[in-house]
């Protein structure tokens, strides 16, 4: 079987056509209100009546379905083409303010379409905050910025309950005051300048898309993205991010210094105030539809296998672990890495206008997906080995087709 066949869409499961991506929005979306759920729905899993009883002949039907060949996937090529055009329009709007950083912009847009959160790291002054705020301007979404400082409290992020007097009855009641987390795009600026206790306030929001305050669950808006910036740990006044929080970011993106020609353009643009007006290109409904289009892109078994083998090779105590991982890593990547490799590869394929995912897509997104999920041991750090070096060796050692 040739490589094209192994990466081909014909091996994927059958799926319905993807919904079309709506055209660019012309007006801002209303500010989302937190949906309140006072108590969780009662579970029926323990009820005797809820026990599943197989219908007569169900086992034969299931066996026949498992034995039948899978039908080729149905892909809406027109929707994928419109998706690529929309992404290019967003990129053009960002370029009105941001000079260069094409790879960083592409990774941000990939994380957006993969419905994941993104962590940007770089020294001060590399336009990390400006890039995220410009992206928010190109999208018709509500945007809130949270400046993380050493004295920031969890309630400053999620909100809190206050006591109010009812003017009619004279009774005192608790009223929830929503925090800045209730927006579509959250800029967590310099997230590692606040202690881990406050950083942990984002855990539930990033994973469950909800916050719990006073025993009440408050749903967050859709779509919901946390785009965080941080300075390297060598900078004064920084705190390391907890591993549980790092694992919730689909990408960790390194923002590097601009090239010589790019820095010249930056100087001239700022000196002449030659900034274009950033116009909104896509609204919340369009983003949700674009994410749905990406989810419909089929993935061959060979691509699933490659992503799985990449992640399992990082776990130093497993039989699949590579010698470099046994020697250099304290711990490897968890199941979220496998999931994010596929979702990010799908988003990248959609951005490029392709109707199937290849192993090249997985290899391209592997560094930003894996670098913050690998912990180098003392031996590796003493030898100057970084997670990026481990990922590079991993991509060389793990065969794409096995």
Per-residue three-class SS string for 262-308: HHHHHHHHHHHCCCCCCCCCEEHHHHHHHHHHHHCCCECHHHHHHHH
pLDDT value for 52: 42
- Integer Cα distance of 402 and 400 in angstroms: 7
87 Cβ contact partners less than 8 Å away, ≥ 6 residues apart: 109, 113, 351
Q: Given this model, what pLDDT does residue 294 score?
A: 92
Q: Which domains does the chain have, with CATH numbers?
A: 75-296 (3.40.50.300), 298-402 (1.10.8.80)
Tokens of 386: 């970084």
Pick from 196, 110, 81, 87: nearest CA to 369: 110
Q: What pLDDT does 25 receive?
A: 52
pLDDT recorded at residue 7: 63
CA-wise closest residue to 214 among 163, 169, 171: 163
Model confidence, pTM: 0.77
Do residues 18 and 291 touch, judged by C-beta distance below 8 A? no
The residues, ordered by sequence, that sit 6+ positions from 401 with a Cβ below 8 Å of its Cβ are 3, 6, 302, 306, 359
Question: What's the half-sphere exposure (Cβ side, CA atoms, 13 Å) at 295?
Answer: 14
Residue 14: per-residue pLDDT: 40
> Among 342, 387, 388, which residue's Cα sits nearest to residue 365?
342
Rounded distance between C-alpha atoms, residue 118 and residue 227, angstroms: 5
Per-residue pLDDT of the chain (402 residues; tens, 9 = 90+): 444 446 665 444 444 444 454 555 544 444 555 555 444 444 444 443 334 444 444 444 444 444 444 545 566 788 888 888 899 999 999 988 888 888 999 999 999 999 999 999 988 888 888 888 899 889 888 899 999 988 889 888 888 888 887 777 778 888 788 889 999 999 998 888 888 888 888 888 898 888 888 788 889 988 999 999 888 866 667 788 888 888 999 999 999 898 899 888 888 888 877 677 888 888 888 999 999 999 999 999 999 999 999 999 999 888 888 888 888 888 889 999 999 999 999 999 999 989 889 999 999 999 999 999 998 889 888 888 899 999 999 999 999 887
| Residue-level pLDDT at 9 | 57
- CA distances (Å), 202 to each of 192, 211, 216, 300, 369, in order? 13, 9, 16, 34, 19
pLDDT at 106: 93
């Amino acid at each position: 079987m040739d490589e094209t066949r192994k990466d081909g869409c014909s091996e994927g499961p059958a799926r319905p056509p993807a919904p079309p991506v709506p055209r660019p929005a012309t007006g801002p979306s209303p500010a989302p209100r937190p949906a309140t759920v006072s108590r969780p729905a009662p579970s029926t899993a323990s009820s005797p009546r809820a026990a599943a009883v197989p219908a007569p002949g169900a086992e034969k039907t299931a066996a026949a379905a498992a034995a039948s060949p899978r039908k080729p996937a149905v892909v809406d090529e027109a929707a994928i083409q419109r998706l690529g055009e929309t992404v290019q329009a967003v990129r053009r709007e960002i370029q009105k303010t941001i000079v260069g950083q094409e790879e960083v912009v592409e990774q941000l847009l990939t994380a957006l379409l993969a419905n994941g959160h993104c962590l940007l790291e770089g020294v001060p002054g590399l336009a990390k905050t400006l890039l995220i705020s410009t992206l928010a301007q190109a999208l018709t979404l509500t945007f809130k910025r949270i400046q993380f400082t050493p004295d920031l409290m969890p309630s400053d992020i999620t909100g809190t309950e206050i006591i109010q007097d009812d003017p009619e009855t004279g009774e005192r009641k608790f009223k929830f005051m929503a925090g800045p987390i209730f927006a579509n795009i959250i800029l967590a600026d310099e997230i590692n300048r606040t202690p881990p206790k406050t950083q942990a306030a984002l855990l539930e929001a990033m994973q469950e898309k909800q916050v719990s305050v006073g025993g009440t669950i408050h749903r967050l808006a859709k779509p919901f993205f946390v785009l965080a910036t941080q300075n390297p740990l060598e900078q004064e006044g920084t705190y390391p991010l907890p591993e549980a929080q790092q694992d919730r970011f689909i990408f960790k993106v390194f923002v590097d210094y601009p090239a010589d020609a790019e820095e010249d353009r930056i100087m001239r643009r700022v000196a002449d105030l030659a900034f274009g007006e950033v116009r909104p290109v896509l609204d919340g409904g369009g983003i949700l539809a674009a994410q749905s289009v990406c989810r419909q892109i089929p993935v061959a078994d060979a691509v699933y296998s490659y992503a799985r083998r990449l992640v399992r090779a990082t776990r130093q105590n497993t039989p699949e672990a590579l010698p470099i991982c046994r020697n250099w890593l304290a711990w490897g990547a968890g199941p979220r890495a496998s999931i994010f490799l596929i979702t990010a590869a799908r988003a990248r394929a959609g951005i490029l206008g392709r109707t199937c995912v290849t192993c090249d897509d997985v290899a391209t997104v592997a560094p930003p997906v894996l670098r913050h999920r690998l912990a180098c041991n003392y031996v590796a750090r003493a030898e100057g080995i970084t997670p990026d070096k481990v990922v590079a060796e991993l991509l060389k050692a793990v065969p794409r087709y096995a």
